[in-house]
């Protein structure tokens, strides 16, 4: 055997690498913050914020401030106790340096002096942020002095120094994400605002301020504002009107450039004395609440603090959010199980006790199910406990078995008292649940009819569906188009091997305000359900999805936008996992065709059209340019539709995701719900952003 090969196969102690200090974090950042993408970047802020929230949950802090500065710098301040700076008996260094440079070092693992409850990422938070920052400055206010220490990539740059005096306590932590690790370092203001708003709701009595001092945060907005101001000035100049009104208007729109950055929101402050009860009211702001103010209970039992707030609305969907030590648990867990058991039992007990039955049924003849009592429910369940046991690294589910009984006891007792003390609210809730029960039985009958008919017909696909020949769902796609005209062009232009087409007639039912039985009475919706192949309601099985890409293709006008919104509402309310799995797309057909010699070029925006025209005129200034504006897909012949919108090699598809599920839910409720005022405000707020409006 070759000598070189022999040497390379030697496996001894010399091959073992020992990473010291925070080196493991820099070597494998994904293990600690999930990755170095945009989510991981923001996780740095959450980890530093968590330390301040822990102080607030312990009753030591009531003010937190986050500031975004230029050069990707973030400052997080709190008025808590301040990180200790005295010498640590184990590390031999100051407690501040120990916490900042050692994994699993902090006040969350000790005895009497540690936090009673805490969040954070397994207690490694601030040291991980330090390791992943090119610069980190920790400043501590305590004992009348300001202590400071600097770090770079997790390593100490300077010792703990006294840099001034102070009359308060707290911690100021300034960090800059390392460009060597994070390809994108621009923080999203709205992401931080949303997270901080939620934390303020969950920690009542704490004030959280977010300030954005970055000048580069909205360059496109600033440039557009400059252009709008210039355009308005030119219009006024052209009118040559000397009237005082126009003169005043001209003065108003001449905004100095150094003040332009102040014309859009840059600072937010959140403070909620009502805590999660205020959170429920916020979530229901676009809905009609049946019990307002919301039901709320806060009680500590067996060293576990339980907070529950709920309100019923005239909606048909449930919106329940659970938290453990302020950490969102999207998969629920024991606290959710306990809450649901208590809710179902309490409402059924009240139904029997009150003898109220608006349906005319004999007393006690109806037993409400969990689904019945949760229709239209908006609820928040928040527990705080010393030793939370989360299932999985992402903390998606709370596993502490003792929490189930505690939450069930606290919630059940409080609901029984609430219904006795608030009979009007109790009556409205029971009416809602009884109506839900009747609708459930009607929906089940309608669903069974649809499914039974499909089974008898051998699961016959809708007659209007032009299916593809490929049977592997991973390779197929379904185009949903409006009208027979567009449907005809699409069917002729498609690749029949993997592209299916389902034309819809007119606008489908707005499912935001429709139960399942009413939905299944719509032929268009039934066609959609059967074409997808995954069932509906309780029978959904996403593994049976017949197409990996579901592409909504509508006209570029108001009606097309409305149909697109109706379809998105239908999918979001009935098949939310399609968004999580990346199955929903929106086709991007061109708005213009511009002939260039014997070739036809296409433009998808006004800007692209203008660039094409400029290119043509640069070659031939006197060119006679004929531009066609497409108002409908039916105006394109099959070949054009394939070339521009359906050919995978050239088309542009917009994938629709649900990363901001809460915001999406609120927008759907606002735009598609019954309440007019929230929709009117939304339209007034965003009307100026609308382009290419064809009525």
Alpha helices in 168-260 (DSSP H): 189-202, 219-239, 244-253
Distance CA 120, CA 137 (A): 20
Q: Are strands 170-177 and 207-212 parallel, antiparallel or unpaired?
A: unpaired
Pairing of strands 477-482, 549-553: parallel
Selection from 362, 363, 359 nearest residue 432 by Cα: 359
Cis amide leading into 576 (omega within 30): no
Residue from 408, 467, 477, 482 carrying the catalytic annotation: 482
> How far apart are alpha carbons 450 and 567 in whole angstroms?
20
Identify whether the C-beta of residue 318 lies closer than 8 Å to the C-beta of residue 386.
Answer: no
CB 287 within 8 A of CB 166: no
Rounded-to-5 percentages of helix, strand, coil across the chain: 45, 20, 35
**Tokens at residue 256, please?**
């100095």
**Is 237 part of the annotated catalytic residue set?**
no
Among residues 434, 647, 385, 384, which one has the least CA distance to residue 426?
A: 434
Q: Please name the residue that has the structure tokens 């090969």.
A: 5
Q: What distance lies between CA 666 and its chain's CA centroid?
A: 10
Q: Are 479 and 492 in contact (CB under 8 A)?
A: no
Is 217 a catalytic site residue? no
Q: Any catalytic annotation for residue 467?
A: no
Q: Compute the chain's Rg from CA coordinates.
A: 30
DSSP code, position 76: E
Say how far apart CA 237 and CA 232 lie, in whole Å. 9
Does the annotation mark 559 as catalytic?
yes
Query: Phi/psi of residue 74, each to 5°?
Result: -125, 135
- Distance from chain centroid for Cα 8: 50
Residues 6 or more apart whose Cβ sits within 8 Å of residue 290? 311, 312, 313, 314, 376, 425, 428, 429, 432
Written as six digits, the tokens of 453 are 């008919």
SS3 per residue for 571-599: HHHHCCHHHHCCCEEEECCCCEEEEECCE
The residue from 402, 484, 559, 675 that is catalytic is 559
d(CA 351, CA 366): 9
CA distances from 42 to 34, 154, 173, 194 (A): 11, 18, 15, 12
The answer to whether residues 536 and 514 touch, using CB atoms and an 8 Å cutoff, is no
Q: Which is the catalytic residue, given 69, 470, 557, 694?
A: 557
Q: What is the DSSP pairing of strand 207-212 with strand 63-69? A: parallel
Contact between 307 and 382 (Cβ < 8 Å): yes
Measure Cα distances from 109 to 103, 114, 133 in Å: 12, 6, 25
Residues with active-site annotation: 482, 555, 557, 559
């Amino acid at each position: 055997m070759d000598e070189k090969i022999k040497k390379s196969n030697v496996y001894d102690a010399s091959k073992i690498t020992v990473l010291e200090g925070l080196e493991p974090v820099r070597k494998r950042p994904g293990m600690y913050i999930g990755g170095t993408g945009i989510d991981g970047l923001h996780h740095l802020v959450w980890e530093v914020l968590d330390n301040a929230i822990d102080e607030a949950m312990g009753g030591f802090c009531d003010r937190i401030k986050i500031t975004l500065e230029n050069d990707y710098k973030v400052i997080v301040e709190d008025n808590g106790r301040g990180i200790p700076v005295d010498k640590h008996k184990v590390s031999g260094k100051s407690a501040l340096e120990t916490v900042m440079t050692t994994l699993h070092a902090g006040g969350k693992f000790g005895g009497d002096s540690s936090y009673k409850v805490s969040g954070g990422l397994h207690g490694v938070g601030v040291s991980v942020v330090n390791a992943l920052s090119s610069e980190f400055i920790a400043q501590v206010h305590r004992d009348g002095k300001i202590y400071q220490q600097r770090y770079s990539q997790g390593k100490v740059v300077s010792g703990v120094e006294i840099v001034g005096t102070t009359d308060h306590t707290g911690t100021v932590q300034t960090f800059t994400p390392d460009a060597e690790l994070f390809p994108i370092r621009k923080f999203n203001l709205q992401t931080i605002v949303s997270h901080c708003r939620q934390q303020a709701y969950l920690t009542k009595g704490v004030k959280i301020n977010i300030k954005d001092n970055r000048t580069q945060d909205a360059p496109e907005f600033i440039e557009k504002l400059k252009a709008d101001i210039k355009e308005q000035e030119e219009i006024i100049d052209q009118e040559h009107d000397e009237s005082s009104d126009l003169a005043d208007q001209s003065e108003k729109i001449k905004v100095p450039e150094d003040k332009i950055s102040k014309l859009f929101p840059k600072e937010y402050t959140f403070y909620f004395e009502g805590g999660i009860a205020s959170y429920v009211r916020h979530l229901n702001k676009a809905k009609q609440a049946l019990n307002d103010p919301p039901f709320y209970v806060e009680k500590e039992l067996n060293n576990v603090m339980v907070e529950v707030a709920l309100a019923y609305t005239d909606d048909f969907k449930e919106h329940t959010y659970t938290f453990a030590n302020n950490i969102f648990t999207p998969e629920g867990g024991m606290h959710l199980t306990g809450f649901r058991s208590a809710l179902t039992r309490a409402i059924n007990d009240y139904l029997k006790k009150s003898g109220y039955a608006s349906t005319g049924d004999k007393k006690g003849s109806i037993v409400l199910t969990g689904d019945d009592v949760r229709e239209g429910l908006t609820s928040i369940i928040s527990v705080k406990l010393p030793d939370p046991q989360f299932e999985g690294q992402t903390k998606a589910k709370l596993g502490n078995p003792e929490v189930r009984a505690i939450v069930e006891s606290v919630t059940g007792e409080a609901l029984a008292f609430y219904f006795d003390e608030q009979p009007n609210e109790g009556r409205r809730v029971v009416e809602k649940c009884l109506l839900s029960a009747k609708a459930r039985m009607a929906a089940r009958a309608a669903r069974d009819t649809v499914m039974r008919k499909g089974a008898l017909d051998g699961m016959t696909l809708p007659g209007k569906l032009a299916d593809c020949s490929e049977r592997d769902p991973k390779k197929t796609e379904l185009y949903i188009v409006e009208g027979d005209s567009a449907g005809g062009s699409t069917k002729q232009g498609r690749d029949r091997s993997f592209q299916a087409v389902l034309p819809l007639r007119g606008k489908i039912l707005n499912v935001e305000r429709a139960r399942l039985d009413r939905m299944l009475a719509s032929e268009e919706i039934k066609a959609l359900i059967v074409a997808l192949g995954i069932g509906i309601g309780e029978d959904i099985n996403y593994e049976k999805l017949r197409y990996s890409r579901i592409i909504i293709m509508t006209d570029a006008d108001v009606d097309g936008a409305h149909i697109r919104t109706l379809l998105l509402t239908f999918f979001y309310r009935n098949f939310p996992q399609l968004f999580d799995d990346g199955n929903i797309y929106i086709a991007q057909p061109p708005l213009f065709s511009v002939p260039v010699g014997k070739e036809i070029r296409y433009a998808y925006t006004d800007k692209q059209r203008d660039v094409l025209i400029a290119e043509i005129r640069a070659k031939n200034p006197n060119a006679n340019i004929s531009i066609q504006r497409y108002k409908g897909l039916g105006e394109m012949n099959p070949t054009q539709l394939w070339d521009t919108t359906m050919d995978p090699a050239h088309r542009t598809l917009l994938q629709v995701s649900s990363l901001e599920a809460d915001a999406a839910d609120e927008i759907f409720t606002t735009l598609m719900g019954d309440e007019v005022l929230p929709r009117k405000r939304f339209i007034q707020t965003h009307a100026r952003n609308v382009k290419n409006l064809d009525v």
